[in-house]
Structure 1
């Protein structure tokens, strides 16, 4: 009888230890990934609820026509819009070749003092592609129009 009680106790200890190890490993994975997760926001969402200056997120929409200004060196400023609101963006670096006004873009960065300071800019890579989040945000504002498929 003492032998089965000892086996039962050992089994419970192993299960408890395994559960604790699982919780600790899940917490460590979540902690390690917290900086790698960037939430998407449309310009309207940024205008309604400005994020904290230290929060890194992605913003997407269309580059507003007439807003693209090339500054000194590699600094570029423009406005990104979803039809409901537009947000000023600054970026220092080389823009993608397909980046231009009235085209879709997604930027990663921070919203500081009313301006989105982008650390990365992505432009659509062909005439039919636009990120799903950007399409959804533009459809929500009633701006997005489906392009006719080419034959």
Structure 2
């Protein structure tokens, strides 16, 4: 092979190696910023066909409806805790800060934070819907056709909605 072709081949290989390294470094850096979205049912039961559950300490986003009567505020600090629900199990969320003005019980929210244990999220950001018709797309898709019945309206013996609770 001629020296000129060797130099050209070497230059092409160096460029490909640099591009591969740059793409690898970007993917590694972005890996830490990926926040997967879960609903309370997906968090408890697992996500996808493999039923993959997030690991404790993992950053994630969770969306659902704030359970009526579950909001508890610490009178001495900005600490707030509440429960989220979609179609089944409840997930407990704690948040330290000022909640959005539109945050209410019985309305849809998305919380971004860290998984503390299997059913508890420590949120660092809470987003509330901005009008009566809006619901985050992920929450709307996950809750399509589902109506939540508060535990107070369930028949204790059958765990099914009481007459007229819908």
Q: Assess same fold via TM > 0.5.
A: yes
User: How far apart are the structure 1 equivalents of 2:33 and 2:54?
Assistant: 17
Aligned residue for 1:94, secondary structure, equals: coil
User: How far apart are the structure 2 equivalents of 1:18 and 1:25?
Assistant: 10
Give a deviation string over 1:73-132, Cα, whole Å, max 9, x none: 111111111122220111110000000011110001112133111111000112222111
Aligned residue for 1:31, secondary structure, equals: helix
Give a deviation string over 1:4-33, Cα, whole Å, max 9, x none: x22221221111111100111011111222
TM-score by length of 2: 0.78
More helix by percentage: 1
Give the aligned length: 140
User: 1:34 offset after TM fit, Å?
Assistant: 1.9
Give the equivalent residue in structure 2 for 1:86: 90
| Counterpart among 99, 102, 109 of residue 105 in structure 1 | 109
| Structure 1 moving runs of 4+ over 4 Å | none
**Is the CA contact (8 Å cut-off) linking 1:61 and 1:137 kept in structure 2?**
no
**Mapped pair 1:23 → 2:23:** no
| Structure 1: stretches of 5+ with no match in the other structure | 145-151
User: How far apart are the structure 1 equivalents of 2:4 and 2:134?
Assistant: 61
Q: 43-52 vs 100-109, which deviates more?
A: 43-52
TM-score by length of 1: 0.85
Aligned residue for 1:79, secondary structure, equals: strand
| Counterpart among 121, 124, 147 of residue 126 in structure 2 | 121
| Structure 2: stretches of 5+ with no match in the other structure | 47-52, 149-166
Give the equivalent residue in structure 2 for 1:38: 35
User: 1:51 offset after TM fit, Å?
Assistant: 2.0
User: How far apart are the structure 1 equivalents of 2:139 and 2:72?
Assistant: 22
RMSD over aligned CA atoms reads: 1.7
User: How far apart are the structure 1 equivalents of 2:17 and 2:110?
Assistant: 40
